């Protein structure tokens, strides 16, 4: 199966990878590439060894097999081998001869161990059959993950590998603990019609099988050449003066990067000359604190705790002299006095090798860069609420201006509905109150009419019920009349 960055177009999506170019130089077409230089040089093996190393699925899995003489299989040949669980598998011979003996010793496999045998060389039909089952692995992987999720199993199916004859399928999964997958195997056997094998692997083994690119821009070490995984802890980052940032220190597998151990021994040897407790130095000018350490230049950068505007690069030997002075009861005047101490020979050699330059740290100071504040994105609901509030406020201002023009509103006692506290609607302004006809109250007060009953009108008999003559000086009767 060709890699993404491979320039060979004829070998992509094939079992052999870039067979026309003799293999991909980057290692993407074949994981854990091995170079059998003895066979390539045509050197005959003085001690023949009948065990060969065979790689499966482009190097993701390698095993050792007995190689009879009648097969005449050598490095680079496709062979049909016996499967320990039954059936036959198809792989590619990666190593032969003395190099296999070294690999078995490295992987702690005994030479007299019971191994399966190579049956014969593979022909075109075997390779075509292997291509067919390899193309089905992706669809089966997606279906297998869906079944595991439907059963609520705390596991992740990472990779699927078919046997060369298509009778057996191995599912590689990762899980935090033990998983009861008996029901899962029944579903797989019923849907895929193959013999199912479940194999649990770690997170790093999963990344090695899948592959990818690391933060450095190169292919993962675990998928190209790294076969033994050593434990990595945060102490390796502390020795190398790296920030303890889980995001930057983690690899594609979610664990700490394996490359943290590559230079660890060099850092440990270089840190033996540094003092253990030199984070703070007491001087007469103030307390000095350690900011950073350059391990390979043997420099320690200090600054004052109260004023951190300037860094003082001090050599390790000068720090040792300052520590001895402090232990004797004498404190150095300042960090400049520590720098003025007798420099070591290594410092003089470093000064000669480095180009001379002028320190302009205190002379030239760059202005503070002004940054424009980023406008926060407002949500649509917030904009609508603000626009609605602005509209309400504008309407209130218009009402206030209209009220000033038309005069003050009537008092509460003058509103219809009675006295203060009475309920009633305010009549519209500048409009006379209109009452519909026939909607008058049953009792109504009428003003007195002194001209009534004058000019020949008949007197009202109800007003003189006493029988006496009408006196014109008497006040008119203002009692309520009923309609």
- Would you list the domain boundaries of the chain? 1-30, 37-122, 132-209, 230-270, 275-347
Residue 361 pLDDT: 56
pTM of the predicted model, to two decimals? 0.60
Supply 463's token pair: 């007003």
Contact 410, 426 (CB under 8 A): yes
Query: Starting from the edge strand earliest in sequence, which strands make up the sheet with 286-294, in order?
Result: 280-283, 286-294, 299-304, 312-315
Residue 464 pLDDT: 46
Q: Which residues in the chain land under pLDDT 70?
A: 1-30, 342-366, 368-370, 373-383, 385, 403-483
CA atoms of 339 and 33, how far apart (whole Å): 53
For the chain, how far is it from start to end, CA to CA, in angstroms?
111
CA atoms of 257 and 46, how far apart (whole Å): 42
Residue 292 pLDDT: 86
List phi, psi (to 5°) of 62.
-130, 140
Residue 156 pLDDT: 93
Domain 132-209 has CATH 3.40.50.300: no
Contact 100, 114 (CB under 8 A): no
Residue 483 pLDDT: 39
Residue 357 pLDDT: 55
């Amino acid at each position: 199966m060709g890699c993404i960055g491979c320039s060979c177009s004829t070998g992509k999506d094939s079992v052999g990878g870039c067979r026309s170019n003799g293999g991909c130089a980057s290692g993407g077409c074949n994981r854990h590439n091995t170079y059998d230089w003895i066979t390539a040089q045509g050197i005959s093996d003085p001690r023949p060894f009948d065990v060969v190393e065979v790689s499966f699925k482009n190097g993701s899995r390698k095993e050792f097999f007995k190689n009879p003489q009648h097969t005449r299989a050598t490095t680079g040949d496709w062979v049909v081998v016996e499967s320990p669980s039954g059936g036959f598998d198809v792989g590619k011979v990666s190593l032969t001869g003395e190099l296999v003996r070294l690999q078995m010793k490295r992987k702690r496999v005994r030479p007299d161990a019971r191994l399966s045998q190579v049956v014969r060389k593979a022909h075109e039909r075997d390779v075509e059959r292997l291509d067919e089952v390899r193309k089905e692995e992706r669809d089966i992987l997606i279906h297998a993950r869906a079944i595991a999720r439907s059963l609520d199993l705390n596991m992740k199916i990472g990779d699927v590998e078919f046997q060369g004859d298509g009778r057996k399928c191995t599912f590689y999964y990762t899980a935090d603990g033990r998983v009861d997958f008996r029901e899962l195997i029944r579903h797989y056997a019923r849907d895929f019609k193959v013999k199912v094998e479940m194999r649990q692997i770690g997170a790093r083994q999963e990344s090695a099988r899948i592959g990818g690119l690391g933060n450095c821009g190169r292919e993962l070490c675990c998928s190209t050449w790294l076969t033994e995984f050593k434990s990595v802890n945060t102490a390796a980052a502390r020795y190398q003066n790296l920030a303890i940032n889980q995001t930057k220190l983690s690899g594609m597998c979610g664990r700490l990067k394996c490359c943290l151990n590559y230079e660890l021994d060099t850092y440990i040897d270089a840190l033996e000359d540094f003092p253990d407790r030199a984070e703070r130095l007491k001087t007469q000018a103030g307390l000095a604190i350690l900011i950073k350490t350059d391990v390979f230049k043997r420099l320690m950068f200090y600054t004052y705790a109260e004023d951190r505007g300037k860094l003082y690069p001090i050599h390790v030997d000068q720090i040792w002299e300052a520590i001895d002075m402090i232990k004797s009861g004498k404190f150095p005047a300042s960090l400049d006095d520590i720098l003025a101490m007798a420099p070591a020979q290594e410092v003089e050699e470093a000064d000669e090798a480095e180009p001379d330059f002028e320190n302009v740290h205190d002379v030239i100071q760059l202005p503070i860069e002004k940054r424009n504040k980023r406008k926060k994105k407002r949500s649509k609901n917030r904009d609508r609420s603000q626009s609605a509030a602005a509209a309400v406020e504008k309407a209130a201002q218009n009402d206030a201006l209209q009220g000033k023009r038309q005069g003050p509103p009537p008092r509460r006692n003058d509103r219809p509905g009675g006295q203060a506290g009475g309920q009633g609607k305010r009549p519209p302004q500048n409009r006379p109150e209109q009452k519909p006809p026939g909607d008058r109250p049953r009792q109504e007060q009428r003003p007195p009419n002194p001209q009534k009953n004058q000019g020949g009108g008949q007197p009202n008999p109800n007003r003189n019920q006493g029988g006496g003559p009408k006196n014109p000086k008497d006040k008119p009767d203002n009692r309520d009349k009923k309609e």
